Chain A
Amino acid sequence: MEILLIIALPLLGAGLPLLTERFGRNICAISAALGPALSLILILQYIPALLQHQMFFLHQPWVPQLGLDFSLRLDGLGMIFALMILVIGLLVILYARYYISNKDSLGRLYALLQLFMMAMLGIVLADNLLLLVVFWELTSLMSFLLIGYWSHSTEARKGARMALAITGAGGLSLLAGALILGQIVGSYNLDMILNSSALIQSHGLYPVVLILILIGAFTKSAQFPFYFWLPHAMAAPTPASAYLHSATMVKAGVFLLARLYPALSGSDLWFYLVTFTGLTTLVFGAYNALFKHDLKGLLAYSTISHLGLITMLFGFSSDLATIAALFHIINHATFKASLFMAAGIIDHETGTRDMRRIFGLARFMPVTATVAMVSASAMAGVPLLNGFLSKEMFFSETLKLDQLGNFSYIFPLLATFAGIFAVAYSYRFIHDVFFNGEPNKDLPIYPPHEAPLYMILPMAVLGLLCLALGTMPNLLVSPLLHAAAYAVLGTDIPRYHLAIWHGFNLPLLMSFVALGGGLLLYYQRKGLFAFYERGYRVDQKVVFEKRIQRLVRLAQRCTDAVENGSLQRSVAVIITATLVMAAIEFWPLGNILGEIPLTPIDGISVIMASIMIVAAVVTVSSHHNRYAALLALSAVGLVVSLAFVRFSAPDLALTQISVEVVTIILLMLALFFLPQLTPYESSWRRAIRDMVLAGGAGIAVGLFTLAILTRPYDTGLADFFIANSVSGGGGTNVVNVILVDFRGFDTFGEITVLAIAGLGVFLVLQGLELSVPRTDRHGRQWTRDPYPIIITVLSRMFFPLALMVSVFIFLRGHNQPGGGFIAGLITAIALILQYICSGTDWVRQRLPVDYGRMSVVGILVAVFTGMGSWLFGYPFLTTTFTHLHLPLVGDIELASAMVFDIGVYVTVVGATLLMLSQLGNLAQTIDPQAETDPDFTSEESR
């Protein structure tokens, strides 16, 4: 349980500084230090046992479904990292107390630092791989918040976003790798994973796992090519940079390499991936660091380079190299944190971090200068300091490599090359800043002062640590290192000796070459800087910006290309996709035809089909002239009705033709208010696209029809209706019996919908004021005489005839083609003809019917007919029929369904006329008389 406290204390303590902020900075700082200090004490208690290679575990289920347990382990590896995190964390808290100005909230920084500490401790103490990933992402998040701490600076916001985007994405990759690893091993428990090395490495997915996990580690530890977020993260307040971006968070990546070392290392793939990534990063970072003018920029690249060194050591997969890597992690954390603090002090005291502006500070801040010199020397690898020891080990390890055969010398060579640059940039840090002439008077703060004692103290502690570790490694660090190595390597730790003096050997020579070469390089810097400026400059910002810009531009281009809001395009895409699907599904086309043979082609069918095709093509091609298109369209409708006649479906033919007439009239009335011509908007490219799509869709639908028509279909339903039409519904016209009897309920629903649609159109048109065109597009008046006498007279003669036909069709409907619906449409057409030929007012005076009410009455008739059957104890809409013998007329069949059909009839007439007369009404204003008609205006205002 105490292990949990190690993590929990900083979390609990995170709230404290926010609460105590108002009591002053000292109390705030002390309260912030409380949690980490207690954690440190806790962990110190474990050290004796840990040095004896004991391990401590805590197991607490969290989300068992995911395999995510809250399992912690405290072993040697976790211990050195936890110590580093807590010790440097406490020093940073002290440092930040003086660093952060009064303008910014100290409490917030402390809270974030502690939350980060919690997350980081979580990573190093996690015993469950998924838990590790969770904490991993949390460190990215906290780093995001810390980089963005100075929220007013654009630089900070951009840097923060970039850092989180890169490390967060790396985290996702790590998550995927962890999941696959867990699948292979069957558990996310680290113990299980670390003991399954053989299983993992022989598994086919090992390369996938390795690459995914390495991407996670490399993004976090700023390895090439993911390094670029780190220099940008330097926008963070310096305490955060010192803590996160040198000592701890960036070490999470190499920690992961160490943690999974037993499970993943040893393969060739591991060697090549890890070693070469590390090598590239080492050289690249060292080279670039020298040319950075910003103090923190220099340190950032140097951090990248050192992380590359550590990564490379892990890549070597030898036991000694691993120990060297662990040792260098500790050393780097001490000297780099110290140097960051120095950079912060310089920034704090001079107001700038630009090395081209600050010189000769040694005279003004001697203590800082001294400590910085110690730390920088450690970074350079000067003997007697800790950096020298681990670098020496690194050099000797590079000499042992033989994987590349004769080319193996490339490792020591490049390592020395990087060493030379490391010495040069370390020397530059000291020489440029503290010596090199007198400070400029134009510094933002002049003259600079020595920083307050307690600000120097943390830096000095770390500097001293560098010295102490460098001179007394066996006393101070050997046991810890041994415990950590035990955790990584297991029992057989090779014999090694942390000594300052190994005698004259090749590694020592390399060290001296680096030292000498570095100094020489630095003194030749003028030419070199010029070369750097002139030549290929790997300016991370420009490169990244370019990369981002390119991506953004590409995204923008895509966005612009796709986002034009065009409806046609959306439809085109849908149709295209469907056609593609159809093509996939139906390829090859050969088996489209089913087993039913095709009927022979006869002349009439061919003529009708060709008329239909021609009419359809004319409709589309003439659509700019709306009336012409409408005329062509009506031809299609008429041929369809004829086709129904030809294929013995008189009911359908009757319905189709009456619907066709009503629809065309409706469309003509509507088109009347629109411009006669639609503008030509589409380019010829789009026209071709549309043509191809339309053709394709047409052919596809044709093929389906062919496919379906040539397959046998289940005639069960049809047989049932034919067999039961007379006995059950009392009619020989099966279609009508179905409509009013078998499926009467459906018809009932349909007429309701029709009535509602009529009311809807009526309401939408009510109160609408449209400008009524008086002339056609050529400026000719539409008509001089709206109601020509010949048509008027003829139409009046037609009216009674039409009504009679409709009654006839209605009555015969039950047994022969016809019925309420068709009859209703015929009556409606007859009435519309009157409207057209004699005008709205004329009809209205003679036929004062409220069509809205009429359609409702129709529905009510249907309802009551249906309810009538309840009186006799039958369900809704049960029909009965009887035969009545009337003199003169003969045998008449009376079915209750017929009353229902009357309802249908009335509704159809009412709804149709409701729509059409209202549309006609709008057009009526063309008649000058109508405008003055008092009756009409009152109607309108009602």
Chain B
Amino acid sequence: MNLSFETFLPLAPVILLSLTAVLVMLAVSIKRNHCVSYWITIAGQLAALVSIFALDGFAVDRVATPVTDLILIDGHAYFYGALVIFASLVCTVFLRNFIESYGNNKEEVYMLLLIAAVGGLVLVSSSHMAGFFIGLELLSVPVYGMVAYTHERSRSLEAGVKYLILSAAASAFLLFGMALVYAQTGTMLFADLADKLAEHGGYLAGFGIAMIVIAMCFKLSLAPFHLWTPDVYQGAPAPVGALLATASKLAIIAILIRFLGHITSDLTAVLQPVLAVIAIVSIAVGNFLALTQTNLKRMLAYSSIAHMGYLLIALIAGNSVDVVSANVYLLTYVVTSLAAFGAISALSHGGNALDAEEVNHYRGLFYRSPALAVALTLVMLSLAGIPLTAGFIGKFYIFMTGVTTSSWILLAALIIGSGLGLYYYLRVMVALYDRTGNSQADNVPAARASVAIVILLVVLVLWLGVYPQPALEFINTLH
């Protein structure tokens, strides 16, 4: 194969981000300066984002371009790539204020973030098991470091170690699964998988695929592989939680969609009931355990478990992957989640022993920081799926998938889960306007840049909720 400049051109976002990571590292080794590292990171990510548009990433007539066997650049890859970069860009802004007051080295966190973003980009565009694994590890390993970045907090350290160990176990499963698939089919290319599976059949590959899916379920924190989620979300610094809840999940969903899309329907028929059970259990566990949480981060963790369960419905209902539904749902989920974690980040400081994570911190927030409180209200409404917010549109699509494929049990789980969900999202909302309760807040001023971004995100939430037309049309052109 001839590798030339043109071959690598579609990879421009990946290359730009990698270069930025190196640049940040060099800048740190020359002279530590938080501001410089921050702006390099921002500039690099913006450049990567712009490069996607500059490459006409979303042109309607664009054909899928393979870059070596490992990577396939198409609309799907660019869509998720853009979302990953967007999420990490937003997290960068959240990180800045948070890390500013952190007593130890600040700059490396940007490097880790950038590497994780590179991993996410590789993952979303992989078309080969190797690319899959490299992307996943590149995405996960920096995140261990980021979760434990504020290692002076014992919770943060514990969360980091826990995530590391369990993630490593999941990765081992993934590798084992890939090995089994390869042993049976002799191919690591997604595109060949269907043919080879049909040719060789066999249950070794079937089990291999099941193991791959288990590893994915772990990363997506679907029940019963979700046990790490609340601890890690709680322990991780709030901006890192944002990354974990959005960029990381996005990239993994993207690869899961691709992967499931390439498996023959025979195999999905075997997987389907298993995944359906996982979806239902996730919805039940996520919503049920979120009910009594008094810690906002833990609540969001459980709610993310439930949301991933909803999303899974789009992936499995009716034995086919409803890509459009999944994309719409993810878009709305990412914007909303970023705003939720952004609000926590805005009130949290790396220098403190804890983030502003207890619901009590938010009691009467309206009277201290009205803009943030209103934003958080809308975020909660969006998470609950109330009309005119983004969350409604996303949930609507999942409903639609459930109805068109006649997946009644999944649909019932969705309805009951969402109903339960209302209850705990509302609890947070109500607390925001509660003047009477004793607020635990230490009256830290909210970080301006973070608040501005949160407001921007909430505007996006409303825009997607009120006038989703352009976004929906855009997503429809992708496939």
A interface list, Cβ under 8 A from B: 62-66, 133-134, 137-138, 141, 144, 148, 151-152, 154, 157, 160-161, 164-165, 168-169, 172-173, 175-176, 179-180, 183, 208, 551-552, 555-556, 558-559, 562-563, 565-567, 569-571, 573-574, 577-578, 581-582, 584-586, 704, 707-708, 711, 713-714
Contacts and interface: CB of A to CB of B under 8 A. Distances in A.
Given A137-B386, A179-B399, A180-B403, A570 B292 contact: no
B473 A65 contact: yes
Contact of A169 (B289, B419, B473): B419
27 contacts: A63-B467, A65-B469, A65-B476, A66-B468, A134-B387, A134-B388, A138-B388, A141-B381, A160-B430, A164-B422, A165-B423, A169-B415, A169-B419, A169-B422, A175-B399, A176-B411, A176-B414, A179-B399, A180-B403, A558-B289, A562-B289, A574-B169, A574-B173, A574-B214, A577-B224, A585-B203, A711-B183
B463 interface: no
B292 A707 contact: no
A578 B173 contact: yes
A165 B387 contact: no
Interface string B75-99: 0000000000000000000000000
Contacts of A157: 430, 433-434
A551 B231 contact: no
B399 A137 contact: no
B329 interface: no
Interface in B95-125: none
B427 interface: yes
Interface string B379-405: 001001111100011001101101110
Contacts of B39: none
Contacts of B166: 567, 570-571, 574
A157 B207 CA distance: 51
A151 B435 contact: yes
Contact of A569 (B173, B227, B291, B384): B227
Contacts of A154: 436
Contacts of A555: 288-289, 291-292
Contacts, number: 158
B436 A152 contact: yes
B207 A172 contact: no
B170 A574 contact: yes
A482 B430 CA distance: 44
A149 to B, nearest CB: 10
Q: What band does the interface of chain B fall in when counting residues whose beta carbon is under 8 Å from A? A: 35 or more
Contacts of A148: 430, 433
A570 B430 CA distance: 34
A133 B387 contact: yes
Contacts of B132: none
A584 B292 contact: no
Contacts of B387: 133-134, 137-138
B427 A565 contact: no
A65 B224 CA distance: 35
B333 interface: no
A365 to B, nearest CB: 33
Contacts of B214: 574, 577-578, 581
A380 B103 CA distance: 73
A851 B386 CA distance: 63
B204 interface: yes
B7 to A, nearest CB: 16
A578 B169 CA distance: 12
B288 A183 contact: no
A168 B415 contact: no
B419 A179 contact: no
Given A558-B289, A573-B224, A708-B183, A563 B230 contact: yes
- 7 A-B pairs with least C-beta separation: A169-B419, A570-B227, A134-B387, A555-B291, A585-B207, A179-B403, A151-B433
Contacts of B476: 65
Contacts of B228: 570
Interface of B: 158, 162, 165-166, 169-170, 173, 180, 183, 186, 203-204, 206-207, 210-211, 214, 218, 224-225, 227-228, 230-231, 270, 274, 285, 288-289, 291-293, 381, 384-388, 392-393, 396-397, 399-400, 402-404, 408, 411, 414-415, 418-419, 422-423, 426-427, 430, 433-436, 467-469, 472-473, 476
Given A137-B387, A559-B292, A574 B430 contact: no
A168 B274 contact: no
A708 B206 CA distance: 14
Given A168-B386, A173-B415, A574-B170, A559 B289 contact: yes
Contacts of A577: 214, 224-225
A63 B206 CA distance: 41
A708 B207 CA distance: 13
Contacts of A708: 183, 204
A578 B212 CA distance: 10
A64 B162 CA distance: 46
A176 B274 CA distance: 24
A574 B218 CA distance: 8
A715 to B, nearest CB: 12
Contacts of B385: 172
B305 to A, nearest CB: 11
Contacts of A711: 183, 204
B292 A571 contact: no
Given A138-B387, A555-B291, A573-B224, A165 B419 contact: yes
A456 to B, nearest CB: 33
B472 A63 contact: yes
B399 A63 contact: no
Nearest to A204: B406
A569 B228 CA distance: 10
A781 B418 CA distance: 65
Contacts of A569: 227
A253 to B, nearest CB: 17
Given A66-B472, A151-B433, A708-B204, 18 more contacts: A63-B472, A64-B469, A66-B396, A138-B387, A152-B436, A157-B434, A168-B386, A173-B419, A179-B399, A551-B291, A556-B292, A562-B227, A570-B162, A577-B224, A577-B225, A578-B211, A581-B210, A582-B210
Contacts of A168: 384, 386, 419, 422
A708 B404 CA distance: 41
A154 B292 CA distance: 18
A176 B399 contact: yes
B403 A183 contact: yes
A450 to B, nearest CB: 34
Nearest to B475: A65
A585 B387 CA distance: 43
Contacts of A584: 274
Nearest to B430: A157
B288 A558 contact: yes
A206 to B, nearest CB: 14
Nearest to A551: B291
Contacts of A208: 408
